[in-house]
């Protein structure tokens, strides 16, 4: 029954396809007693009531009143009720009255309630989540006195 089989071929593992979340998928909830050290990436929605020491990348992020992020946030929809220390890139960003943001915000639409704290620059962009192209570096030739160049 459990003896070794000789000469049997073991089937190869099949490739697992990644699934896209459905529109009605439940959000990932990070409770108030949870601390995550590292980056979080998801195609879905995150409700953050705990602490993240790292970057967060998702379709939608809601930082609860007691939630905090110390890192970069990239999401289509961002609602901040807690605190974020780092850059925020998002299409639709809403800072509620209890929000505390220390960092630059790149947005397509931005809503800030009275009482929200923001320390950083606000930049409107048509596609804020797209990485900006690095600037080209011009090469420079340096000559010392008495040196000849070919």
Question: What residue ranges do the domains of the chain occupy?
Answer: 28-34+44-122
Structure confidence by residue, pLDDT tens digits, 93-134? 999 999 999 999 999 999 999 999 999 999 999 888 776 543
Question: Does residue 143 register a pLDDT over 70?
Answer: no
User: pLDDT: is 127 or 58 the higher one?
Assistant: 58
pLDDT of residue 94: 98
Chain-wide mean pLDDT for the chain?
82
CB 59 within 8 A of CB 78: no
72 contact partners, CB below 8 Å, separation of at least 6? 55, 56, 86, 87, 88, 89
Residue 15 confidence (pLDDT): 46
> For the segment 11-23, what is each residue's pLDDT rounded down to a tens digit?
454 444 444 555 5
What is the DSSP-derived secondary structure letter of residue 14?
P
């Amino acid at each position: 029954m459990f003896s070794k089989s000789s000469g049997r071929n073991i089937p190869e593992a099949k490739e697992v396809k990644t699934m896209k979340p459905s529109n009605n998928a439940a959000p990932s909830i990070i409770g108030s007693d949870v601390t995550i050290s590292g980056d979080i990436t998801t195609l879905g929605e995150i409700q953050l009531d705990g602490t993240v020491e790292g970057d967060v990348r998702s379709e939608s992020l809601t930082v609860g009143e007691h939630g905090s992020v110390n890192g970069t946030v990239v999401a289509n929809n961002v609602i901040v009720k807690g605190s974020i220390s780092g850059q925020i890139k998002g299409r639709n960003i809403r800072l509620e009255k209890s929000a505390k943001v220390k960092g630059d915000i790149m947005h397509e639409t931005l809503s800030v309630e009275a009482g929200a704290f923001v320390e950083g620059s606000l930049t409107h962009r048509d596609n804020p989540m797209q990485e900006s192209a690095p600037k080209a570096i011009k090469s420079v030739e340096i000559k010392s006195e008495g040196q000849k160049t070919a």
